Structure 1
Amino acid sequence: MDDLFKVAPTPPLAEALRPQNLDQVIGQSHLLGAGKPLRLAFESGRPHSMILWGPPGVGKTTLARLTANAFACEFIALSAVFSGVKDIRAAMEQAEQYLAQGKHTILFVDEIHRFNKAQQDALLPYAESGLVTFIGATTENPSFEVNSALLSRAQVYVLQSLTEDELKLLVTRAQSQVLAHLQFDPAAIDTLVGYADGDARRLLNLLEQTSSAAAGVGTTEITPEFIQNALTLNARRFDKGGDNFYDQISALHKSVRGSNPDAALYWLCRMLDGGADAKYLSRRIVRMAWEDIGIADPRAMQIANDAATTYERLGSPEGELALGQAVIYLAIAAKSNAGYNAFNQAMEFIKQDKSREVPVHLRNAPTKLMKELGYGHAYRYAHDEPEAYAAGETYLPDGIPDPHWYEPVPRGLEIKIADKLAHLRSLDAAAKKSKK
């Protein structure tokens, strides 16, 4: 009798619209289109272990569930955030029971990158034995986050953020199936799609919030203004410690190196808007000045350091302006990696070379014994030489020819530096010739 009074909970919109077959999936056409890898995998008649790698809200869980449906398998889902080895073993015991009933099991591990090595290793014997078909989902690069042993036993599929057109198609589906009572202004749909930022789940949650807000005030007309006033809109998708973060840092650095101030500003502001640590960004900007500009324009280093100091003093948002102007200057400055290359080459040489003695004429001689041993003998004091340069003098240990690690580029201040070095080398050549 009690069941008569129970009311079934209304599923969230994202769950109500979850695709029931591959043809209902929106997006991922590069994997699910005719003749594409995942479509062929579904058509093969046999499930295989896989890792679905992509940003949030692109269908990783949906595809895992569809795999179980397509192959008539039982579906066991674990979250790596809340599960451990004990949960894995319990899932395997359940899978053995299913097997005894003649049923195969799909084991789905969400956020597999959050499992440590021991937990990932615990999955191996069961995946190898065929007791379960393993499907992992991750937002992080599996090359770094998944054990090589587990990675070698699973096919990696890369999922992509949904396009604006695909998200609009999802809105149309939601309207036709659940939200037919609402009238969306086309600009309102554009607003929702923009805030969804390629994330289908986020779009559906925004639609659900919109529906609730509209019901609360008794309206069916949805405009951009209504959305702005009614919804709490979070920052764009941005994982402060994941691949998305480092991809955007890479894009900022490459934009500066490529002398494109607009692109550099775009990536800087994109990260600031997403909640990136501005202090970290300021450190990276200083690094860019030293790596990609160097001595070609020493002012770039000063401006980068001044911007970092300014941010420390002012904080957000005022200090962010200094970072923005710094990346503009770095982008338009003359570029040189000559110093960066010279340092790396010197370090590599030192690591591989033997420990060489300091030449005697370069050693300090503060004691009588050291002087008697010849320390500092025949050292030429550069300031007493013509042009303050001891032409022909050697400063490297014996046996090391001039390596020419630092080779100035024909840009910025390094043009003049190259001219000076060429002149000094000509003096060296003349000095050596005169000794013969």
Structure 2
Amino acid sequence: MSGAMLAPLADRLRPRTLAEYVGQRHLLAPGKPLHEAIRGGRLHSMIFWGPPGTGKTTLARLVAHHAEAEFVTLSAVLSGVREIREQVAEARHRLAQSGRRTLLFVDEVHRFNKSQQDAFLPHVEDGTFTFIGATTENPSFELNNALLSRSRVYVLRALTEDDLLAVLAQALTDPERGYGARLVGMNEDIRRWYARAADGDARKLLNLLEISVDLLDSGADAIGEDLAREVLAGGGARRFDKQGEDFYNQISALHKSVRGSAPDAALYWFCRMLDGGIDPLYLARRIVRIASEDIGNADPRGLELALNAWDVQERLGSPEGELAMAQALVYLACAPKSNAVYVAYQAARADARATGSLEVPLHLRNAPTGLMRQLDYGKAYRYAHDEPDAYAAGEQYFPDGMAPRQYYRPVPRGLEIRIAEKLARLKALDQASGQAG
């Protein structure tokens, strides 16, 4: 077996030209700016941002190939400032000796720390080399502004099922780099199973195919249902990185589905995250947050149900806890919505920070000692339970010198309808008290 055939299938089938590249038509269709720049060999610094297996590294290689530039890679994890300086020196020598440009490729560029970024930034600016970074993380959070401002960000998308079927067909028919010479068969339905299991990731697809071919019985020439089920049984969870872009996007989708009173969508995102390996207790905490932020006093039972679900998850684990959380999510999605407490809390926080250390009025202070009573602590305080309807009409509870504020404005939904009615009655009593005074 040749050395080339010893390489993994995904590496052997790496596209060699733009014509062989599958997917990313929004960037690489003929006439698109990036397609024309690559085809014309026009280099500029770029960042490729997208999920795993979407062709970021391959695309960087194609850029270098079409520009006839030297392709050099650095590891964001293993390379320090010294290695960067060595590559800078080599790039300068190469340019001076042969006039050949250098393309420096950094995979997982989000792992580059500030000193690493600062070390090669001047050499990007002076044209010593062209920089291309690849990342699965949002570059606006992970890279410094100076590097971002000098690079064009291209967003790569997960491959579609049709894209993956095209990759699969190439692997099965290519006689030199794939399995065309072996004539491995796979019917249309099974091909779609593999494409769906790959979840937009061409590398994952080719790895699954390679495992399947390796497991074929001697003399067998087709991947059948039994073998496919065996290989795909551990086909892997959906794309979910537990701390990066997908994590926060899916948490956001869950929260907004509940807020939007969409129980079915809320359940879908909940199950997507469980399937991706999220910590169920993290979800439990988020559900409690949703209950307070978006349901609030419109239905206070929502918070109780969310806390109960958290308790079930801690006590019983999976699957009982997950079912309890699903119950809480459906209830919260169907419950009347109010963010009145959340808005009131944020407004009160802002005032507390802005107003400084205003003194507590004397009549609201506690007076446990004789000295405090001599200093009028608690003097003229009206004990609400001794007042009609247990309400001291007209009493002032804000600091002296601070006008009363209204932070909490109940919404006309759920229990807050009745809360609003009560607050309106109390306000009327305050106004009557002021007029009487």
Could you tell me the TM-score, scaled by structure 2's length?
0.95
Shift of 1:34: 2.9
Over residues 92-145 of structure 1, what are the superposed CA-to-partner deviations in whole Å (9 max), with x where a residue is unaligned? Answer: 232223212221100000000011111111111221121110000000000010
Moved more, 424-433 or 26-35: 26-35
Aligned residue in 2 for 1:283: 285
Please tell me whether the aligned partners of residues 185 and 224 of structure 1 are also in contact (alpha carbons under 8 angstroms).
no
Shift of 1:8: 5.3
**1:173-252 matches, cutoff 5 A:** 173-177=170-174, 178-180=178-180, 181-214=183-216, 216-231=217-232, 232-252=234-254
- Aligned mates of 1:6, 1:241 — CA distance in 2: 41
Q: Secondary structure at the match of 2:72?
A: strand
1:37 aligns with 2:39: no
Shift of 1:23: 2.2
Aligned residue in 2 for 1:363: 365
In the superposition, relative to structure 1, how do residues 194 and 224 fare at CA in structure 2: closer, same or farther (>3 Å)? farther
Shift of 1:41: 2.5
Shift of 1:280: 0.9
Q: What is the aligned counterpart of 1:69 among 21, 46, 65?
A: 65
Shift of 1:190: 1.3
Over residues 314-339 of structure 1, what are the superposed CA-to-partner deviations in whole Å (9 max), with x where a residue is unaligned? Answer: 11233211111111111111111000
Moved more, 19-28 or 273-282: 19-28
Moved more, 103-112 or 23-32: 23-32
1:12 aligns with 2:8: yes
Shift of 1:74: 0.4
Please tell me whether the aligned partners of residues 96 and 131 of structure 1 are also in contact (alpha carbons under 8 angstroms).
yes
- Aligned mates of 2:63, 2:3 — CA distance in 1: 31
Aligned residue in 2 for 1:431: 433
Q: Which amino acid aligns with 1:66?
A: L
In the superposition, relative to structure 1, how do residues 378 and 291 fare at CA in structure 2: closer, same or farther (>3 Å)? same
Q: Which amino acid aligns with 2:306?
A: A
Q: Which amino acid aligns with 1:40?
A: E
Over residues 386-423 of structure 1, what are the superposed CA-to-partner deviations in whole Å (9 max), with x where a residue is unaligned? Answer: 11000111100123223211000111111110000011
- Aligned mates of 2:259, 2:168 — CA distance in 1: 40
Aligned residue in 2 for 1:125: 122
Q: Secondary structure at the match of 1:334?
A: coil
Q: What is the aligned counterpart of 1:137 among 107, 127, 134?
A: 134
Q: Which amino acid aligns with 1:78?
A: L
Shift of 1:367: 2.5
Shift of 1:45: 4.2
Shift of 1:245: 0.8
Shift of 1:257: 0.7
Shift of 1:224: 3.5
Aligned residue in 1 for 2:52: 56
- Aligned mates of 2:160, 2:196 — CA distance in 1: 10
Aligned residue in 2 for 1:403: 405
Q: Which amino acid aligns with 2:319?
A: P
Q: Which amino acid aligns with 1:20?
A: R
C-alpha RMSD of the superposition: 1.7
Q: Which amino acid aligns with 2:418?
A: K
Q: How many residues are aligned here?
A: 430
In the superposition, relative to structure 1, how do residues 365 and 179 fare at CA in structure 2: closer, same or farther (>3 Å)? same
Structure 1: give runs of 5+ residues left out of the alignment: none
Aligned residue in 1 for 2:272: 270
Over residues 292-320 of structure 1, what are the superposed CA-to-partner deviations in whole Å (9 max), with x where a residue is unaligned? Answer: 11111111111111111111111123321
- Aligned mates of 2:58, 2:163 — CA distance in 1: 16
- Matched-pair identity in %: 57
Q: Secondary structure at the match of 2:6?
A: coil
* Runs of 4+ with >3 A deviation: 5-9
Please tell me whether the aligned partners of residues 58 and 160 of structure 1 are also in contact (alpha carbons under 8 angstroms).
yes
Please tell me whether the aligned partners of residues 41 and 63 of structure 2 are also in contact (alpha carbons under 8 angstroms).
no
Moved more, 86-95 or 190-199: 86-95
- Aligned mates of 1:409, 1:174 — CA distance in 2: 60
Aligned residue in 2 for 1:383: 385
Q: Which amino acid aligns with 1:163?
A: T
In the superposition, relative to structure 1, how do residues 218 and 349 fare at CA in structure 2: closer, same or farther (>3 Å)? farther
Q: What is the aligned counterpart of 1:330 among 329, 332, 336?
A: 332
Please tell me whether the aligned partners of residues 213 and 230 of structure 1 are also in contact (alpha carbons under 8 angstroms).
no
- Aligned mates of 1:158, 1:166 — CA distance in 2: 17
In the superposition, relative to structure 1, how do residues 261 and 218 fare at CA in structure 2: closer, same or farther (>3 Å)? farther
- Aligned mates of 1:148, 1:237 — CA distance in 2: 28
- Aligned mates of 1:325, 1:220 — CA distance in 2: 48
In the superposition, relative to structure 1, how do residues 174 and 8 fare at CA in structure 2: closer, same or farther (>3 Å)? closer
Q: Secondary structure at the match of 1:157?
A: strand
1:93 aligns with 2:89: yes
In the superposition, relative to structure 1, how do residues 146 and 224 fare at CA in structure 2: closer, same or farther (>3 Å)? farther
Please tell me whether the aligned partners of residues 238 and 245 of structure 1 are also in contact (alpha carbons under 8 angstroms).
yes
Q: What is the aligned counterpart of 2:322 among 311, 320, 323?
A: 320
Q: Secondary structure at the match of 1:409?
A: coil
Q: Secondary structure at the match of 2:342?
A: helix
Please tell me whether the aligned partners of residues 408 and 417 of structure 1 are also in contact (alpha carbons under 8 angstroms).
yes
Shift of 1:374: 2.0
Q: What is the aligned counterpart of 1:148 among 136, 145, 150?
A: 145
Shift of 1:193: 0.8
- Aligned mates of 2:262, 2:243 — CA distance in 1: 26
